Chains A and B, each alone.
Chain A
Amino acid sequence: MDSLLSIKNLKVGFSQEEKTVEVVRGVNLDIGHNESLVLAGESGSGKSIMSLAITKILPANARIIAGEVYFGGKDLLKLDEEALVDIRGSSIAYIFQEPSSFLNPVYTIGSQISEAIMLHQHKSREGAGFAALELLQQVRIDDSERIFRSYPHQLSGGMNQRAFIAMSLACKPKLLIADEPTTSLDVTIEVEILQLLMQLKMELGFSLLFITHNLSIAKRIADRVSIMHQGKIVEEGSCAEIFSSPKHFHTKELIQAYEKIGRL
């Protein structure tokens, strides 16, 4: 299969004194070109850590035990820091759960997006600023000039998440990894952000790895769904397959939880 990103037998653990606790226990995952894959699972199933391991931006006490991550014909896990820095942000970008705390409080939105642009493209500060303003318009921010000059604490969560998406897409990545990007937002904003992501995906043509514990999102945006449970992928299939005939008990649990909320 011709895939954009191919994860093979990835194992990640946290070292605690002498012991290593494995939290990702042999994950295999493929993401195709232009595909949107939803990775669903309960909290603590290892899905976030797995996604951070792809470009090795793990917390200090976590380490990769085994596995391969193929992207563009290369195993990312074998690359050195210098080569990885080139890939992060330019080919593989992230958006995260709590936009307000993932933005640096001491810089304006505009200067942070400009920074992301200047890291990977040869542009002057002015040129980058101009591009940043365009990006803000691209993520459907109306008064982009005011937002450009604002600090994160002056904006709402939804607005910050839009700005963060603009920053992540600054260098037109091939893969966008979205780690629960709507969990901290309220429901109406959540819908807007999801719509925005899908629109941008159509316009820019990137692949999306969307991590969530909320299967209703999967139903809305997924081409394929992978269910992760205790560090392993336990079920995988098209969106329709997963919902019509779930096989693994954890998939059933997640669907039940989602349906219960639906009935309320």
Chain B
Amino acid sequence: MKNYALIIGIVIIIMLSCIAIFAPLLSPYDPAAINQDSLLLSPSSQHPLGTDSLGRDLLSRIIYGARISLSVGLVAVGIATLIGLLVGSLSGFYVGLLDLILMRLVDVMLCFPTFYLILAVTAIAGPSVFNIMLIIGLTSWMGVARLVRAEILSLKEREFIQAAQAIGATHSRIILRHHIPNALTPVLVNATLGVSAAILIESGLSFLGLGVQPPTASWGNILIESKSTLGVAWWITVFPGLSILITILGFNMLAEGLKKEIG
């Protein structure tokens, strides 16, 4: 049977990436340009997705929002995956005291309700796009660490690891060149799911006003601005919501498809 989930996921993500990369070319208006003559216009040929309460073109804002969401998702997951690989491989390779300490650290981190931790930290450190990437990354590496550790524990019993030892490879070389490349499959699937989780967290934070700050457009902060005008302008709520939905769907389908393909 064909792997439809993988194909649909890839198509959605390629489209989103193109939208994000070519945002200046694709958006019909300046996303931050306020226009007093076009407040709260419903979707029309001039403004395909309508305008918001400050007269800004919603389509342009959503296109630029894609940049924020995707970059937050990818960078945060990049940070989380790197930390997870490091902690997981050390923990799996050097069983014993180090493993014990690192895994208890993972347990402690998992005990925190992550979203409130992120809220607290952004409240202190200040809400910038970079801070948000960093904080999401620093609070979501535990799953990766556990995955990598489990993979390495089973890889250690494999013969080619012994062979690498026999040709005189050092510990760091065995970890980097022989363990990690062989442990990447589940990490890849996990990272794909992680991107959608990070995008959701960013939207949630922006919705609460602790995420990306206006006038920079993000899907989350378009949503919060739409709250006050929900009764008269449905489009400001529906379209950014749909964007988030499609993006999450895309990454989840990609993850599902990858799992089927390589798992």
Contacting chain B: which of A21-29, A64-72, A85-93, A218-226? A85-93
Residues of A163-186 at the interface with B, using a CB-CB cut-off of 8 Å, are 164, 167-168, 170
B36 within 8 A of A: no
The smallest C-beta distance from B185 to any residue of chain A, in angstroms, reads 10
In the complex, are the beta carbons of B160 and A119 less than 8 A apart?
Answer: no
A105→B168 contact, CB < 8 A: no
Q: How many A-B residue pairs have CB under 8 A?
A: 67
A103 and B169 alpha carbons, distance in the complex (Å): 14
From 151 to 196 in chain B, residues with beta carbon under 8 angstroms from any chain A beta carbon are: 156-160, 162-171, 173, 177-178, 181-182
Q: Mark B92-115, 1 if CB is under 8 A from A, else 0.
A: 000100000000000000000000
Contacts A119-B167, A119-B169, A120-B168 given; indicate if A57 touches B182 (C-beta within 8 A): no
Contact B167 A101 (CB under 8 A): no
Say whether A60 contacts B156, CB under 8 Å.
yes
Q: How far, in angstroms, from A68 to B166 measured CA to CA in the complex?
A: 19
From A60, A90, A102, A116, B159 is in contact (CB under 8 Å) with A102
Across the interface, name the chain B residue whose C-beta is closest to A88.
B168
A106 within 8 A of B: yes
Asked if B168 contacts A86 (CB within 8 A), the reply is: yes
Interface residues of A in 86-112 (CB under 8 A from B): 86-90, 93-94, 96, 98, 101-107
With A104-B182, A106-B182, A115-B177 in contact, is A57–B159 under 8 Å at CB? no
Nearest to B184 among chain A residues (CB) is: A106
List chain B residues, Cβ under 8 A from A212. Answer: none
Residues in chain A near residue B95, CB distance under 8 A: 60
Residue A6 is within 8 A (CB to CB) of chain B in the complex: no
Asked if A55 is at the interface (CB within 8 A of a chain B CB), the reply is yes
CA distance A106 to B169 in the complex (A): 17
CB contacts (< 8 Å) of A120 on chain B: these are 168
Residues of chain B with a CB closer than 8 A to A115's CB? 167, 169, 177
Cα-based distance from A85 to B171 in the complex (angstroms): 9
Contacts of A81 in B (CB 8 A): 171
Contact call B168/A106, Cβ cutoff below 8 A? no
B23 to chain A, nearest CB (A): 37
Name the contact of B163 in the complex, choosing from A59, A86, A103 (C-beta under 8 A).
Answer: A103
**In the complex, residue of chain B having the shortest beta-carbon distance to the beta carbon of A55:** B166
Q: Which residue of A lies closest to B182 (CB)?
A: A106
- Per DSSP, chain B at the interface is helix
Report Cα–Cα, A215/B162, bound state, in Å. Answer: 27
State in angstroms the CA–CA spacing of A106 and B160 once bound together: 11
Q: How many interface residues does B have (CB within 8 Å)?
A: 21
Q: Which residues of B contact A93 (CB under 8 A)?
A: 166-167
**A85-B160 in contact (CB<8A):** no
Residue from A94, A101, A105, A168 within 8 A of B182 (CB atoms): A105
Once the chains bind, are A88 and B167 in contact (CB under 8 Å)? yes
Q: Which residue of B lies closest to A81 (CB)?
A: B171
Given known pairs A60-B95, A115-B177, the reply for A103 and B160 (CB within 8 Å) is yes
A107 to B180, CA, bound (A): 12
Cα–Cα distance between A85 and B156 once the two chains are bound (Å): 18
Least Cβ distance of B196 to chain A in Å? 27
Task: Looking at the assembled complex, report how far the CB atom of A131 sits from the nearest CB atom of chain B, in whole angstroms.
Answer: 14
A89 to B160, CA, bound (A): 14
Min C-beta distance of A81 to chain B, whole Å: 8
In angstroms, Cα B166 to Cα A55, docked, is: 8
A102 to chain B, nearest CB (A): 4
Q: Which A residues are CB-close (under 8 A) to B167?
A: 88-89, 93, 115-116, 119, 167-168, 170
| B contact residues around A96 at 8 Å (CB) | 159, 162-163, 166
Question: In angstroms, how far is the closest chain A Cβ from the Cβ of B134?
Answer: 31
Instruction: Indicate whether A88 sits within 8 Å of B165 (C-beta atoms), given known contacts A98-B159, A101-B160, A105-B160.
Output: yes
* Contacts A57-B162, A96-B166 known; 14 new A-B pairs at CB < 8 A: A52-B162, A85-B169, A85-B170, A88-B168, A89-B166, A89-B167, A94-B166, A96-B163, A102-B162, A104-B164, A105-B160, A106-B181, A116-B167, A119-B168
**Could you list 20 A-B pairs, sorted by A, with CB under 8 Å?**
A57-B166, A81-B171, A85-B169, A88-B165, A88-B166, A89-B167, A90-B168, A93-B167, A94-B163, A96-B159, A96-B162, A96-B166, A101-B160, A102-B160, A102-B162, A104-B160, A119-B167, A168-B166, A168-B167, A170-B167
